[in-house]
Amino acid sequence: MNDQGKYRPLSYFQLMEISLRELLVEKGILTNEQVDAEVEDMRQRTPERGAKVVARAWTDSDFRKRLLENGTKACEELGLDIPALKLVVVENTPEVHNAIVCTLCSCYPRMLLGIPPDWYKSRNYRSRMVREPRAVLAEFGLKFPEHVQIRVHDSSADMRYMVLPMRPAGTEGWTEERLAGLVNRDSMIGVAVPKGPND
Amino acid sequence: MNAPRFKPGDRVKVLKAYPPGHIRTPFYIRGCTGEIERICGAFPNPEELALMRTGLPAQPLYRVRFLQKDVWPGYSGGPGDVVEVEIFQHWLDPA
């Protein structure tokens, strides 16, 4: 794909991927077009999708309710198909701050946030986020008073999680599109909070 | 599927067991006591799936909420901080 530029020997896993792909194509199990379509589909999955869901929840309280009840079904309303996975949306409030981790591997709501950042998959984040979440959040620049409950979600099995952050003050009357621009990937993992015009 | 034995609000204890294999119950939560937050549905048992078996009947899967101070001795955060973990029914006992 983007192989232009300097020659570098292939890594073990790159070689394995190419070999397996060529074998599957050669044996007629897959076509190159199918592989390309899948890669393209993966590229389309970016945090903007999640931001759209958040902005809708901020502007439509009935949607917000449906989203918290059944994340998968509510996303279908926005034309976002989340095949065979159950999405659980957890809501930040002045009393509760949520954060997501997968201690066992790197489960992540890819259909809404795209490819996970490397730190999400690191041993450091995965082990410390459950054990000392406040210290990890502080490293991301977030500090909470003791009375705010920190709720860590370990995606240890079949569900996937997304944080619904709090709508920043000073954004009254904003359009969904403008609001979506405030929502980044990290705020939907729970290691950041969206900043409004007053922040 | 196997019928759910627990409902939201029930107190449960995670088995303190260390069988070999593909286990989705994190080590740190084994032996801990928490509260059922919700029933997530029923899913094929991953321990069986890993052995190329069907994993059926599907096992009820729960989200269980644990107080951090009950999980980590000397937890230094807020007293109300919690961690929520998905646990399959066959890993839970009533507490």
Residue-by-residue pLDDT tens, chain A, 199 positions? 555 667 788 899 999 999 999 999 999 999 999 999 988 888 888 999 999 999 999 999 999 999 999 999 999 999 887 765 689 999 999 999 999 999 998 888 888 998 899 999 999 999 999 999 999 999 999 999 999 999 999 998 888 999 999 999 999 999 999 999 999 999 999 999 999 998 8
Most B CBs within 10 Å, among A85, A95, A131, to test the B interface:
A131
CA distance B87 to A156: 8
CA distance A148 to A146: 5
Is A105 a residue of the active site? yes
pTM for this prediction: 0.89
Pair A90, A164: CB distance under 8 Å: yes
**Nearest CA of chain B to the CA of A100: how many Å?**
10
**DSSP H helical segments within chain A, as ranges?**
12-26, 32-44, 47-59, 61-69, 71-77, 110-113, 118-121, 123-131, 133-139, 176-180, 185-189
Q: Give contacts of A147 with chain B, Cβ < 8 Å.
A: 78, 80
Question: Following CA atoms A152, A83, B48, B12 in sequence, which dihedral angle do they give, to the nearest 10 degrees?
Answer: 30
pLDDT of A27 reads: 97
Pair A149, B78: CB distance under 8 Å: yes
Nearest to B86 among A144, A149, A156 (CB): A156
ipTM for this model: 0.94
Nearest to B40 among A103, A144, A158 (CB): A158
Q: How far is CA B58 from the centre of its chain?
A: 15
- Under 8 Å CB pairs connecting chains A and B tally to 80
